[in-house]
Amino acid sequence: MSFLVEQVSDEDVSGAFSSGQPDALTLVYERFGPLVYSIALRSLSARSDAEDVTQQVFVSAWRSRGSFDRSRGTLGGWLVTITRNKVADALRERQKNSRVLLQVAGRATVQTPEAPADRVVDRIVLADELAQLPEAQRLVMVLAFYSDLTHEQIAQVLALPLGTVKSHIRRGLRRMRSSLEANGVAH
């Protein structure tokens, strides 16, 4: 099946998926399963959690395929968005479970994760700067730095030319640096 999926265009896979064709989910999983799993594994660091999230992504995508609009973006980009949401859900669940375990263990106060205050502030500042970028640049930057995808992988997922991906990253970094320097944050 892997050989066949490489012969089918992204547009054909998206069309088959959108219309709910019988083998469409298999095609979509063959095409994008490794990407979804890779993002989940890098974010969660546990194979079992990454496998669970991957399954949840494809079940959710299939059930909500009617909401996928091919004119608004690629199927790969849509699946990456679902993956990020499912990863966030898994991380929230982990945090909730660790709080419950700490409370059950008899601790009166619940400690927050071991992130130093400076790192938390840095993450908040960077997240705010990312949020200021235009959507196309923001999505490319998030895939590059949070999902740790190569430029080529990003180009494939978003169905963009490689040069466009590189330009978005370069302009995004330049814009973020200028903004941080203007706000006195950059050194």
pLDDT one digit per residue (tens) for the chain, 187 residues: 444 556 788 889 999 999 999 899 999 999 999 999 998 888 888 899 999 999 999 999 999 999 999 888 889 889 999 998 898 888 888 777 666 665 555 544 445 555 555 565 666 667 677 777 887 788 888 788 777 778 988 888 777 899 999 999 999 889 888 877 776 655 5
Contacts 24+ apart (CB under 8 A), 162-169: 165/140, 168/136, 168/137, 168/140, 168/141, 169/137, 169/140, 169/141, 169/144
Are 1-115 and 117-187 in the same CATH fold? no
- Architecture of 117-187 per CATH? Orthogonal Bundle (1.10)
- Architecture of 1-115 per CATH? Orthogonal Bundle (1.10)
Residues 6+ apart with CB under 8 A from 137: 168, 169, 171, 172, 175
Residues 6+ apart with CB under 8 A from 161: 155
pTM passes above 0.75: no
What ranges do the domains of the chain cover?
A: 1-115, 117-187
Residue 153: how many other CB atoms lie within 10 Å: 18
